[in-house]
């Protein structure tokens, strides 16, 4: 990854050297002055790009992707693909150039403290306060879920050259978990309808996979039917969500909903869902994937998890995916000083609720909003 960034920057510097060289010749400065200018520029070029040079605030990301302004237009081609990979080209030098455009967000190129670590784009003074501030302050976001990702995908499980290595990230936001899955070796499909965090998601995807071979970003939400819906941004990108009606008091966008069943036609190593209350619709649009393919694990955040209708949803998800175990865990969002290279899930607050879900024991209250459905036992109790 570091070499890809270096290549983009160095190509940009080399082209600048060539332009200056041709300018000098065109203005007939003479062969000696021209060669001196070229040698000085070449010396600057050979110093290369150091990651810390980019770990400083940049200004704006509004022009990151071509045609980004027509997100809300009824564009037939965009409706067909719903994929950003076909739009921005993915060249790192173009990406870095886009980060220099006008705008207020202070964007940082940040390397996480996860294991393994990975680079991503974050901002300091935007509505990414839940994800970015924690990542910048702690070096990680949602450490328990991060460790579950490593537990499922680590130790060489993912190999992009082999089948059965797809991770689907529904509600990818800025791309933290998508990027982690990618550096662990998986292919990734990220779905994010909100254009604001998606710009950062697309930036990280272009950085890691500039030719869009193994990481696809879809400009859509997942639901039970294809349609346009209202999407509201209430202060923080981390709690933005789909609404039934247009809200006048908050920023409201119209976004496209598609079925996961129409896009994914293969086994899935991990399906992660974080859609702020829209998870039942996501699963309703994923029945064929769950029933006809091998989905090894599902990580899902569930709101109102003790309501009977939601408990029925948990039961249906277990049955559709043929999962043998269900765990309910507490996410340690603000716990500092965790060494994720040595942290073990047995240290997490996690409960085996397989029997509770399977037998619909409504009288036994669940304790946390985060659930892990899998096909292999993890806890002995």
Question: Does residue 73 carry a pLDDT above 50?
Answer: no
The whole-number pLDDT of residue 241 equals 47
Q: Are 133 and 321 in contact (CB under 8 A)?
A: no
Dist. CA 342–CA 109, nearest whole Å:
25
DSSP 80: H
| pLDDT tens, position by position, 277-331 | 889 999 999 999 999 999 999 999 999 999 999 999 999 999 999 999 999 999 9
pLDDT band at 161 (very low <50, low <70, confident <90, very high): confident
Q: Mean of the pLDDT values across residues 22-34?
A: 56
Average pLDDT estimate for 240-267: 72
With 0-12 / 13-18 / 19 or more C-beta atoms within 10 angstroms meaning exposed / middle / buried, residue 352 is middle
pLDDT digits (tens, 9 = 90+) for 119-135: 988 877 776 767 888 88
pLDDT, position 252? 65
Lowest mean pLDDT among 16-25, 232-241, 256-265: 16-25
Measure the CA–CA gap between 325 and 327, rounded to whole angstroms: 7
The 10s digit of each residue's pLDDT in 271-282 is: 999 988 889 999
Question: What is the percent of the chain where pLDDT is above 90?
Answer: 46
Note the pLDDT of residue 39: 58
The average confidence (pLDDT) of the chain is: 76
Beta bridge partners of 327: 352, 372
Q: Please list, in sequence order, all residues whose beta carbon lies within 8 angstroms of the beta carbon of residue 278, skipping any fewer than 6 positions away.
A: 221, 223, 241, 242
Mind listing the pLDDT tens digit for each residue in 172-183? 998 999 999 999
């Amino acid at each position: 990854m570091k070499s890809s960034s270096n290549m983009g920057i160095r190509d940009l510097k080399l082209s600048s050297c060539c332009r200056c060289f041709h300018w000098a010749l065109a203005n007939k400065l003479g062969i000696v002055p021209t060669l001196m200018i070229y040698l000085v520029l070449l010396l600057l070029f050979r110093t290369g790009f150091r990651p810390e040079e980019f770990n400083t605030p940049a200004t704006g990301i509004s022009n990151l992707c071509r045609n980004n302004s027509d997100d809300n237009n009824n564009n037939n081609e965009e409706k067909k693909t719903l994929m950003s990979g076909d739009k921005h080209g993915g060249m790192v030098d173009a990406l870095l150039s886009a980060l220099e455009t006008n705008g207020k967000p202070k964007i940082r190129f940040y390397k996480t403290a996860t294991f393994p670590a990975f680079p991503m784009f974050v901002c300091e003074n935007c509505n990414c306060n839940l994800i970015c501030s924690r990542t910048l302050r702690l070096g990680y976001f949602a450490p328990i879920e991060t460790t579950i990702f490593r537990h499922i995908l680590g130790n060489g499980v993912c190999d992009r050259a082999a089948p059965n290595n797809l991770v689907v990230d529904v509600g990818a936001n800025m791309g933290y978990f998508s990027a982690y899955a990618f550096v662990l070796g998986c292919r990734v499909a990220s779905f994010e309808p909100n254009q604001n965090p998606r710009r950062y998601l697309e930036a990280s995807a272009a950085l890691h996979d500039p030719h869009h071979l193994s990481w696809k970003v879809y400009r859509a939400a997942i639901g039970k039917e294809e349609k346009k819906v209202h999407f509201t941004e209430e202060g923080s990108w981390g709690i933005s969500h789909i609404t039934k009606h247009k809200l006048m008091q908050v920023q409201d966008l119209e976004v496209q909903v598609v079925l996961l069943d129409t896009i994914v036609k293969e086994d899935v190593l991990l399906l992660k869902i974080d859609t702020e209350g829209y998870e039942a619709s996501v699963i309703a649009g994923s029945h064929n994937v769950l029933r006809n393919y091998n989905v090894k694990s599902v990580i899902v955040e569930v709101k109102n998890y003790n309501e009977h209708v939601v408990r029925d949803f948990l039961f249906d998800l277990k049955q559709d995916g043929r999962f043998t175990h269900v765990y309910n865990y507490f996410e340690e969002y603000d716990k500092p000083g965790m060494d994720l290279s040595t942290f073990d899930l047995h240290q997490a607050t996690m409960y085996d609720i397989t029997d509770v879900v399977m037998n619909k024991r409504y009288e036994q209250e669940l304790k946390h909003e985060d659930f892990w459905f899998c096909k292999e036992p993890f806890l002995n109790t």
